[in-house]
């Protein structure tokens, strides 16, 4: 099985890859035309060969695109051999159609099958060379993903103890001050510990929001009136997969660097919206007085979230930050077409 966001066919349907396929087809047509001794001129030979090859390329790409969902559930080597089979089938259909359109009545049946077999042989050789090239590319891609995953795990290892110790200290202080809320606290802590220590790389968006909500509920109990929360979340959320604990670190930063330094507290808002095919999760906090601000805040947790969002969406998602109207806002942008 292939993991979402790292499917073998994803690389094929990018603009650069599509242009490369078409240019490679033109190069193959030129080679065939220059090596041919057929009558009628090499320019005409090139034009007809180019037309046939591009029909084969486009029909193969279209068929593969239509089958991309079932193919995504298969292993990469199986997908590669199926794509080669599609190429050979399209070559057979196009060459038979070309023969029926351009062959003269005097052409023999033997010539027909000789023409078809030559085209299939060329397609087979080109397909095998393409598979070999793609295999090397895919191995390099997987090694790069593994290296990135190892970096993210190392970064997470730095985040999780900080998050867990802070939450535990919050629980200890709350248990002494308000023992009647101990059960609620322990249930929330249990969910947060389970998520932080789990090996799951991603969660549904609704689950990740729920974890952030539990964290903020604990902080609300600890800070009381100093923390003013605002939630702006639609009733129905898209079935989107996000890296585990994507929102909670941003909420934690908002508390640590926006609310705790201020003696009067402040506001934290979480807003979710969809704009131009992207989901936006904005976590904002009011800024404390300049004299009480930390020298360097919003860094480690933000770096972790930014790196994991970038890796899980192949660079299409991102985390933006801005300061405006005495508010610090961190916004996660995720493409909606990676919904799970």
Q: Which two tokens stand for residue 78?
A: 């199986």
Cα→Cα distances 292→42, 237, 262, 295, 327, Å = 79, 37, 7, 9, 15
Cβ–Cβ < 8 Å for 262, 256: no
pLDDT at 160: 56
Can you tell me the distance from the alpha carbon of 240 to that of 274, in angstroms, rounded to the nearest whole number?
12
Q: What is the DSSP string of 297-319?
A: -S-HHHHHHHHHHHHHTTTS-EE
Q: Find residue 324's DSSP bridge partners.
A: 327
Cβ–Cβ < 8 Å for 170, 219: yes
Nearest partner of 213 among 195, 238, 197, judged by Cα: 195
Q: Which two tokens stand for residue 152?
A: 């993210």
Cα dihedral angle (191, 196, 197, 201), rounded to 10 degrees? 110
Nearest partner of 338 among 159, 202, 192, judged by Cα: 202
pLDDT tens digits along 81-110: 898 899 999 999 988 888 887 766 656 566
Which range has the top average pLDDT, 88-97, 164-173, 188-197? 88-97
pLDDT tens digits along 13-51: 778 878 888 888 888 888 887 877 655 577 887 888 888
Could you state, in order of their start, the residue ranges of all structural domains in the chain? Answer: 8-144, 178-338
End-to-end CA distance of the chain: 15
Q: φ, ψ for residue 315 (rounded to 5)?
A: 85, -5
pLDDT tens digits along 280-289: 999 999 988 8
Comparing 19-33, 127-141, 179-193, the range with the smallest average pLDDT is 179-193
- CA dihedral over 305, 201, 168, 227, signed as positive or negative: positive
- Topology at the third CATH level for domain 178-338: Heat Shock Protein 90 (3.30.565)
């Amino acid at each position: 099985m292939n993991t979402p966001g790292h499917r073998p066919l994803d690389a094929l349907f990018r603009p650069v890859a599509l242009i490369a396929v078409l240019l490679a087809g033109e190069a193959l047509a030129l080679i065939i035309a220059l090596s041919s001794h057929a009558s009628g001129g090499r320019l005409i030979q090139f034009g007809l060969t180019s037309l046939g090859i591009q029909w084969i390329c486009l029909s193969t790409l279209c068929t593969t695109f239509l089958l991309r969902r079932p193919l995504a559930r298969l292993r990469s080597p199986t997908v590669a051999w199926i794509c080669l089979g599609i190429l050979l089938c399209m070559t057979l259909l196009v060459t038979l159609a070309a023969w029926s359109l351009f062959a003269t009545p005097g052409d023999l049946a033997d010539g027909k099958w000789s023409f078809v077999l030559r085209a299939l042989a060329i397609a087979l050789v080109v397909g095998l060379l393409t598979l070999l090239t793609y295999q090397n590319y895919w191995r390099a891609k997987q090694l790069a993903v593994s290296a990135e995953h190892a970096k993210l795990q190392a970064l997470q290892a730095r985040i999780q103890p900080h998050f867990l110790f802070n939450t535990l200290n919050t629980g200890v202080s709350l248990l002494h001050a308000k023992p009647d809320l101990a059960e609620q606290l322990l249930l929330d802590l249990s969910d947060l510990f389970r998520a932080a220590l789990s090996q799951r790389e991603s969660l549904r968006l609704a689950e990740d929001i729920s974890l952030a909500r539990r964290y903020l509920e604990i902080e609300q109990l600890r800070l009381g009136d100093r923390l003013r929360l605002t939630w702006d979340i639609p009733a129905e959320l898209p079935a989107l997969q996000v890296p585990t604990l994507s929102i909670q670190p941003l909420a934690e930063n908002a508390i640590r660097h926006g609310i705790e330094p201020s003696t009067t507290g402040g506001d934290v808002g979480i807003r979710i919206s969809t704009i131009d095919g992207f989901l936006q999760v904005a976590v904002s906090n009011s800024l404390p007085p300049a004299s009480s601000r930390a020298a360097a805040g919003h860094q480690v947790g933000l770096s972790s979230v930014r790196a994991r969002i970038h890796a899980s969406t192949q660079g299409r998602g991102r985390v933006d930050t801005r300061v405006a109207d005495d508010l610090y806002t961190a916004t996660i942008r995720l493409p909606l077409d990676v919904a799970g």
